[in-house]
Amino acid sequence: MKLICTQENFKKAISVVDKITAKQITLPILKNILLETKNGRLFFYATNLEIGIIVKIGAKIEREGKIAVPSKILSEFISNLPQEENIEIELNGQILNINCGKYRAKINCLESEDFPIIPERKGDIQFSLDNLELRDIINKSLSSVSLNDLRVEFTGVNLIFDEGVIYFASTDSFRLNEYEAKIKEKNDYDKIKNTSAIVPAETMRELNKILHSNPEAKEILVTIENNQIFFDVGDIKMVSRLINGKYPPYKQIIPESFKTEILIDKGELLQAIRIAIVFTKKTEGEINIVVNEDKNMIVRSGLQESGENQTELVIEKNGDNQDFILNPRYLLDGLGVMDSQKIKIMLNDSISPVIIKMVNEKDGKNIDNFVYIIMPIRK
């Protein structure tokens, strides 16, 4: 292997693959990045056996080859180099020689044959999403993913395919959200209707980092096959295992009509919640929300040992008065991923799901492609 490439491209590729190399694992080869030259490109491969990433960059290839390079050493060396135009790389046996300006390094490597094969996509189910929208989907979906692996299916985001749309849902059994996205299908509709897949939350987090650092990749191709999901982000390809499990039929808990609808300023409600949290238990707090005839919302909380608090907010209300209890942190998480100034809160009684939607500032209508649901705390 002998090549020349730009330092900028090499450094960017290393920063992508280094994030998923295994830091603490019994298989030493997984602490390495596989470098391979082919078809006039330099390829970077990394995997932790759950997620695999392939990055390709342009290079002037004088001699082809491949080798497994320790990720930590390579990443730290490259990241500490001053800005130069090019990097020269040459492999002699199992020693990788790197020249960059006046800086030189020799890195001991491992045989490439021991590196796991990262699967390539073939295309059972394919669709594409806009980069910005996919980032928004991930940010919203991760707000409800469970951190407890007692039910492994709740540690991921569930994808459900329907005609021309895909639903992204996540829940920890106490709150749930759903995002509806229109998709550009790359296959026959009959292939994907009513199919589903659960993507690990960690995969979504890593994908989000890649999307943020590659805004020039406008359209993201997504492929699902053989219990794996693939994402094509420009010159970066990512593959992940899917979670084995059955997601609950969550749509059954979403009411179709409501006895009460409340329009409120999101910023004012957020401030009231943050104040109320001061007077709640740090881990399992609760706030009481009362909606009365005066078109006011009262947000209150209290602890016997520390005192109590009450905030009165102006609202627009249609329907019955309500008196219910919520976990304030769940409410903060949901409001934190909503983009509109006004929100709509809808419910039937103190024990039924509380539905929250964003509101379009121009026409005052609900934005129906995202819904956040919280189960009240029973009195």
Query: Does residue 27 or residue 99 have the better pLDDT?
Result: 99
Check whether residue 218 and residue 260 sit in a common domain. Answer: no
Per-residue pLDDT tens for 303-315?
888 899 999 999 9
The encoded tokens of residue 23 equal: 């830091």
Give me the mean pLDDT over the 78-96 stretch: 94
Same domain? 213 vs 281: no
Tell me, yes or no, whether 260 and 358 share the same domain: yes
Asked if 34 and 137 sit in the same domain, the reply is no
Question: What are 310-346's pLDDT values in tens digits?
Answer: 999 999 999 999 999 999 999 999 999 999 999 999 9
Q: What is the structure's pLDDT at 205?
A: 97
Task: Encode pLDDT of 124-177 as tens digits.
Answer: 678 899 999 999 999 999 999 998 888 999 999 999 988 888 999 999 999 999
Tell me the C-alpha distance between 286 and 164, whole Å. Answer: 40
Asked if residue 119 belongs to a domain, the reply is no
Residue 192: per-residue pLDDT: 67
Query: Closest by alpha carbon to 32, among 111, 100, 98?
Result: 111
Question: Which residue is it, tokens 């024990």?
Answer: 351
Domain of 108, CATH number, reads 3.10.150.10
266 and 369 housed in the same domain: yes
Q: Please identify, among 87, 114, 141, the residue that sits at the C-terminal boundary of a domain.
A: 114
Of residues 114, 3, 112, 2, the one with CA closest to residue 68? 112
**Is the residue at 349 inside a domain?**
yes
Looking at the fold, whether 69 and 173 belong to one and the same domain comes out as: no
* Spatial distance between the Cα atoms of 236 and 313, rounded to a whole number of angstroms: 48
Does 379 map to a domain? no
**183 and 241, same domain (yes or no):** yes
pLDDT score for 305: 85
- The rounded percent of the chain whose pLDDT value lies above 90 is 81
Give φ, ψ of 165 to 5 degrees.
-140, 160
Q: Find the domain containing 240 and state its range.
A: 125-251
Look at the chain and report how many structural domains it folds into: 3
**End residue of a domain, out of 114, 140, 174:** 114
Same structural domain, 96 and 43 = yes
Residue 208's SS3 state is: helix
**Structure confidence at residue 293 (pLDDT):** 83
3-class SS letters over 90-123: EEECCEEEEEECCEEEEEECECHHHCCCCCCCCC
What single string gives the DSSP state of each residue in 165-190?
EEEEEEE-SSEEEEEEEE-EESS-HH
**289 close to 327: Cβ distance less than 8 angstroms:** no
Reduced to 3 states (helix: H, G, I; strand: E, B; else coil), residue 50 is coil
- pLDDT tens string 171-193: 999 999 999 999 876 555 566 66
- Statement to judge: residues 298 and 365 lie in one domain: yes
66: β partners: 36
- Interatomic CA distance for residues 168 and 165, integer angstroms: 10
Q: Is residue 20 part of a domain?
A: yes
**What burial class does residue 233 get, using C-beta atoms within 10 Å of its C-beta: 0-12 exposed, 13-18 middle, 19+ buried?**
buried
Instruction: Tell me the HSE value of 178 on the side-chain side, using a 13 A CA sphere.
Output: 18
Question: Is 287 within the bounds of a domain?
Answer: yes
Query: What pLDDT, in 10s, does the model give residues 255-281?
Result: 999 999 999 999 999 999 999 999 998
Would 38 be classed as within a structural domain? yes
Helix ranges (H only) for the chain are 7-17, 71-79, 131-141, 189-192, 201-213, 266-277, 328-336
In this structure, is residue 295 part of a structural domain? Answer: yes
Could you tell me if 100 and 84 are in contact, meaning their C-beta atoms sit under 8 angstroms apart? yes
Quick one: 129 and 246 in the same domain? yes
In a domain, 120, yes or no: no
User: Are the C-beta atoms of 264 and 345 separated by less than 8 Å?
Assistant: yes
275 and 218 in a common domain: no
Distances (CA, A) of 237 to 108, 121, 181, 289: 27, 9, 22, 47
Report d(CA 357, CA 349) in Å as an integer. Answer: 18
Contact present, 118 and 145 (Cβ < 8 Å):
no
DSSP state of 85: S
Residue 111 has phi, psi (to 5 degrees) of -65, 140
